[in-house]
Amino acid sequence: MGIFESILLTIATAATPLLIAAIGELVVERSGVLNLGVEGMMVMGAVCGFAGASLSGSPWIGLVAGVAAGAVFSQLFAVLTLSIATNQVATGLSLTLLGLGLSGMIGEPFVGEAGSKLPNLFIPGLSELPLVGRLIFGQDPIFYLSVILTVGTAWFLFRTRTGLTLRSIGDNPASAHTLGIPVIRYRYLAVLFGGACAGLAGAHLSLVYTPQWVENMTAGRGWIALALVVFASWRPARVAAGAYLFGGVTIGQIHAQALGFGIPSQFLSALPYLATVVVLVMMSRNKRLMMVNTPASLGRPFVPDR
């Protein structure tokens, strides 16, 4: 029972950054913007989160620094794609490369330093319950925040007038602009939210998952988060299910290596990314599902005065 509980805890920890980054990107794509810079924003959140915690001695300050780094990077993306109307795919890829390089430069003085970990929140009495105690009542604060973000995003998108407006912008920005809706302002805010979530996901990696700084420590998680949004057909509840599925695959390959299965370790390490490819291929075969939920203007620039 203790081993099973430990596996569930590690799956939840591995899934949390994927879930947060994917929820942020889901909101961005629902507004019609395709942000491929999630990986770069995550790694900037990771390095700035660790640097903030190391310099201040407080992981909470590091958490704020990580969120701020992701938000600032996202606004650079927003200025380029929304105000200047650059190509969203090329801009996102460029920002990912910039983030990977800049994070390596910023994080060089912190390589090998001991990090400060965010403390887990324990509820007396409930945390001692068998199996579910630590899993539900003894997690780190970012885990609970990921749950709140998922539920809040689902409520916002499908139960509020503003969420309906955001989704209408993602489907037809020209019609929304004709009705007097400030399309660019909505998209700026959506990109800001997505960047802050990516920064928070990165900070989770350096302050909770592995409390240290290692160059390129996101290891492709930003790309998996992007795939999760498509896998979930732009629905928050499905994003959560997908994040825990991929978290389980990630942890499963680690335990498989530890148990010494006769499978090359390189293949086991590639399993999360192989699963990403398989899921995307399966989703692409369901044309009807993709057409129904995909924002119609996804990736298309919109300039109001044209």
Task: Report residue 268's pLDDT band, with 50, 70 and 90 as the boundaries.
Answer: low
**Averaged pLDDT of the chain:** 87
Which residue is listed with tokens 């947060």?
Answer: 20
- pLDDT score of 251 more than 90: no
Task: Report residue 304's pLDDT band, with 50, 70 and 90 as the boundaries.
Answer: confident
Which residue is listed with tokens 């903030």?
Answer: 52
pLDDT above 90 covers a percentage of the chain that reads 57
- pLDDT score of 46 more than 60: yes
CB count in 10 Å sphere of residue 274: 14
pLDDT at residue 132, as a whole number: 73
CATH topology of domain 2-120+131-293: ABC transporter involved in vitamin B12 uptake, BtuC (1.10.3470)
pLDDT at residue 100, as a whole number: 94
**What are the tens digits of pLDDT across the range 81-105?**
999 989 999 999 999 999 999 999 9
- Among 64-68, 151-155, 174-178, 285-289, the minimum mean pLDDT is found in 285-289
CA torsion, points 149, 220, 215, 94, in degrees to nearest 10? -90
- pLDDT score of 159 more than 80: yes
Higher pLDDT, 120 or 187: 187
- Among 40-49, 200-209, 236-245, the minimum mean pLDDT is found in 236-245
pLDDT at residue 287, as a whole number: 67
**What are the tens digits of pLDDT across the range 113-125?**
877 888 888 777 7
pLDDT at residue 6, as a whole number: 77
Q: How far apart are CA 230 and CA 297, in angstroms?
A: 15
pLDDT at residue 249, as a whole number: 79
The stretch 146-156 carries a mean pLDDT of 96
User: What are the tokens at 50?
Assistant: 């660790």
pLDDT above 70 covers a percentage of the chain that reads 87
pLDDT at residue 135, as a whole number: 76
The stretch 289-305 carries a mean pLDDT of 81
| H-only helix segments in the chain | 2-30, 38-56, 59-78, 88-107, 133-137, 141-159, 161-171, 173-178, 183-204, 221-231, 236-258, 265-285, 287-293
- Determine the 3-state secondary structure of 116 from DSSP: coil
pLDDT at residue 256, as a whole number: 66
The stretch 142-171 carries a mean pLDDT of 95
Higher pLDDT, 242 or 204: 204
**What are the tens digits of pLDDT across the range 211-234?**
899 988 998 899 989 988 988 889
The stretch 157-176 carries a mean pLDDT of 94
- Among 34-43, 69-78, 209-218, 254-263, the minimum mean pLDDT is found in 254-263
Query: Do the Cβ atoms of 246 and 232 come closer than 8 Å?
Result: no
pLDDT at residue 163, as a whole number: 95
Global pTM reads 0.90
